[in-house]
Amino acid sequence: MAAAEFDIPEIKDEIETPKLREGSMAHAKSFLAGKPVQDFMGYPHELGEDWKERAIDKMGDLLGKYRSLKVFLDACVHCGACTDKCHYYLGTSDPKNMPVARQDLMRQVYRRYFTTAGKLFPKLVGAKDLTKDILDDWYSYYHQCSECRRCSVFCPYGIDTAEITMAGREILNHVGMGQKYSNEILGKVQKIGNNLGLPGPALEDTLEGLEEDIEADTGVAVKMPLDVKGAEVLLVTPSADFFSEPHVESLIGYAKVFHAAGISWTLSTHASEAGNFGLFNGNYETMRKVAMRIRDAALELGVKRIVVGECGHAWRVAYSFWNTLTGIGYGGNDPFSIELQKQLDPTYPQPQHICELTNDLIKSGKIKVDPSLNDDLVVTYHDSCNVARASRMGTEPGGQFTIPRELIKSVVNNFHNMADDTIYESTFCCGGGGGLLTDDLMEVRVKGALPRVTALNNVVKEHQVNFMATICAICKAQFTKVLPKYGFDMSMVGGVHQLVSKAIKLD
Amino acid sequence: MSTVTMIYAGMFYIATLLLVVGLGYKIFDYSRTPAPLKIPTTPAPTTQKGVVYRMAKEVVLFESLFKSNKWIWVFGWLFHFGLLLVLARHLRYFTEPVWFWVGIVQPFGKYASIMMVLGLAGLLARRFLVDRVRYISTPSDYLMLVLLLAIGLSGMLMTFVAHTDIVALKAFFMGLMYLDVQPVPMDPILLVHLALVALLMVIFPISKLLHAPGLFFSPTRNQADNPREHRHVAAWAARLDQNN
């Protein structure tokens, strides 16, 4: 089934807040997961007769487990501060893509079944019985949210729509409406070890091919080790880095950094994926199972450090959740976390972002770079949402903004930021995050990219920017697909380590 | 004792009970519900001290709202800080002798009512005028503002236009506090004012007014950004570690 035709939005000089066009994206519906996929995940694949009870039960269960959900559903006062903050609203004009309206899709049901006011005076407080129409709205609009948290920056109570979307998708899964794209990936990562379903031998072949390419290109035998016991560093990177363009250029960059610094490192077949789509579906157990592969690989290979490649949501899970989920980090005093902690080298942060690692190496002079090798480029940097608003790098708050920029500026001579209200904590999502990077949501993705593309267009006009660096596999895949629709060249997107790769001096 | 006095006395006892018990239950419920994951909206402070500072900026200055929308911020801040001063001024009806600082606040509290009503009027106007806000508004959103406006305006009427017998009013509230009910002054404006306040107290714990305690429990604002240094595990999630 081909996706419906749609008009590409026109890029204006400024990001404009559109007038409401009700229902304009109600038709967007990601493909539903079929039986085998849902079976593997332990979910039904179609609505049973008791779907309504199941949905309400699950909502109650989540309300008891997540303070965020409970507080966020109660606290909203409908002030409207978030209404013009979501890139999907800005790009589609559909009012249900305003963060508060997206939350209200669940809040109306929450109020009806879980609050006194909603039980007594449903009309007054906008409480509604759960119906199939509402469930369909959930499915449609909880798959038009990339869980980027931009709204949570601007909410006076810090309400994060991502938490509501995650809960919504979890409930949908429980009644049999799983999303094909995300759930298939969750199956592959658990069965094979990565989201692309790339088996071990294929991975080995790919890495050997890349080693040959680098040697042909540079004359230096840079290695890409796999499953090497006793290596110092385990590198966990999104599987797109193994063969997607432009991702692979950054993988080559990481390999060159390790080579130049003389750090022994390895990839792992079992943990050949940094991405963790468990985040997107709001299921703690699934997210934990997927993350446990990293712990298992680290223990098995006996590594001293765990470093994460360029991937936005993966860095959120790694930085913010790995310690909680798997004990990768410090401060645990239970046997489960001590087992791993005593193996890891306490002089480094665990896990560490590849940008932290490379930036430190350049600053301390352990690797040499020549930024003039990137003089053909005028570079800007797209802060990926999960890195910007759900993680950190370095020791200071905001290191997630300064460290990648420091690194870029050390390897390129021409750098310009995009407009202030579109970067740092106010950064706009690429439009493809949170489980939306699928062709059946192309209209949502293209329209959702409009604010970022507008900001990019302005630096292109003003500073002749011809390269937008980013540190997220989803951003890279999304932009290479979506930028051409707006008339930009797809090769203008790439990783930060793609720039490092060009500038680094190898011996 | 007149019927009206009995009704008003009963009303305030019940309203206070519902407010305290309802709010107490909600706060208990929020505090017992675990936050299993570290989800501060970053950049976030890395220490608990920093979190207190961040939270103070949210509570006092409405920092996030300021970043977001200057109109809502102006109206919201005028309303809330007008209300705070007005409430402080009202403490004189519940204290004998009147606390020193409550005495100082009196003239400010008097004019703060103007701030409060202006802020509310601005917020109400936005509900009608801004299409995005109109779309998300439920009947209760309008009524809540109307209720607060009616409380503010009836109070201002008594302060600036038709004074009520505040000595008798104070005797009524002191009487309620010491379980020695005194007659409520039979001023229609006052009776309306008091009834609306009692209504507000009753709906506080079952309405969006829960944003007040909610803010303090919001994990995106009250968590320190230190997940690599400290292992954070909720009780229900810790059980999963034991199966490995």
Is B167 a residue whose pLDDT tops 90?
yes
What whole-number distance in Å separates Cα of residue A470 and Cα of residue B184? 68
Instruction: Check: CB of residue A181 under 8 Å from CB of residue A31.
Output: yes
Domain for residue A26, yes or no? no
Q: What is the domain-level CATH number for residue A124? A: 1.10.1060
- On whether both A267 and A404 belong to a single domain, the answer is no
* Closest Cβ opposite residue A397 in set B39, B45, B143: B45
Instruction: Check: CB of residue A188 under 8 Å from CB of residue A293.
Output: no
Domain for residue A18, yes or no? no
- On whether both A244 and A322 belong to a single domain, the answer is yes
Closest chain B CA to residue A148? B41
> What is the average pLDDT score of chain A?
96
- On whether both A327 and A289 belong to a single domain, the answer is yes
Q: Tell whether B208 lies on the interface with A, counting CB pairs under 8 A.
A: yes
- Rounded to a whole number of angstroms, the distance from the CA of B196 to the nearest CA of chain A is 18
Is A282 a residue whose pLDDT tops 90?
no
Give the pLDDT of residue B221. Answer: 97
Q: Do B132 and A350 touch (CB under 8 A)?
A: no
- Split at pLDDT 50, 70, 90, the class of A1 is very low
For chain B, the domains span 3-238
| 66-125 of B, contacting A, C-beta below 8 A | 67-69, 72, 76, 123
- On whether both A216 and A166 belong to a single domain, the answer is no
- On whether both A354 and A397 belong to a single domain, the answer is no
Give the pLDDT of residue B154. Answer: 98
Instruction: Select from B218, B221, B236 the residue whose CB has the most chain A CBs within 10 Å, as the one to mutate to test that interface.
Output: B218
Give the pLDDT of residue A440. Answer: 96
Contacts of A282 in chain B (CB under 8 A): none
* Closest Cβ opposite residue B208 in set A17, A76, A284: A76
- Split at pLDDT 50, 70, 90, the class of B244 is low
Asked which of A178, A210, A232 is the last residue of a domain, the reply is: A178
Give the pLDDT of residue A387. Answer: 98
Asked which of A314, A335, A359 is the last residue of a domain, the reply is: A359
Residue of B236 and A183 predicted with greater confidence: A183
- Walk across the sheet containing A305-308 and list its strands: A265-266, A233-236, A305-308, A352-353
Number of folded domains that form chain A: 3
Is A357 a residue whose pLDDT tops 80?
yes
B66-96 pLDDT, tens digit each: 999 999 999 999 999 999 999 999 999 999 9
- On whether both A99 and A228 belong to a single domain, the answer is no
Closest chain A CA to residue B216? A157
- Split at pLDDT 50, 70, 90, the class of A4 is low
By residue range, what is the domain housing residue A140?
Answer: 35-178
A212-224 pLDDT, tens digit each: 999 999 999 999 9
What whole-number distance in Å separates Cα of residue A371 and Cα of residue A337? 41
> Which of the following CATH numbers is that of domain B3-238: 2.20.25.10, 1.10.150.20, 1.20.950.20, 3.40.1000.10?
1.20.950.20
Instruction: Select from B231, B243, B244 the residue whose CB has the most chain A CBs within 10 Å, as the one to mutate to test that interface.
Output: B231
* The residue count for chain B: 244
Task: Identify the weakest region by mean pLDDT among A429-433, B223-227, B233-237.
Answer: B233-237
Q: Which residues are CB-neighbours of B18 under 8 A, at least 6 positions away?
A: B201, B202, B205
- On whether the pTM is more than 0.80, the answer is yes
- Rounded to a whole number of angstroms, the distance from the CA of A400 to the nearest CA of chain B is 8
Taking Cα atoms as reference points, which of B145, B2, B173 lies closest to residue B83?
B145
Closest chain A CA to residue B220? A158
Give the pLDDT of residue A74. Answer: 97
CA A412 to chain centre: 26
Q: Which residues are CB-neighbours of A71 under 8 A, at least 6 positions away?
A: A157, B30, B214, B217, B218, B219
- Split at pLDDT 50, 70, 90, the class of A2 is very low
Instruction: Select from A65, A79, A293, A347 the residue whose CB has the most chain B CBs within 10 Å, as the one to mutate to test that interface.
Output: A79
- On whether both A171 and A221 belong to a single domain, the answer is no
Is B182 a residue whose pLDDT tops 50?
yes
Average the pLDDT over A277-290 and give the result: 94
* Closest Cβ opposite residue A117 in set B37, B137, B206: B206
- Split at pLDDT 50, 70, 90, the class of A197 is confident
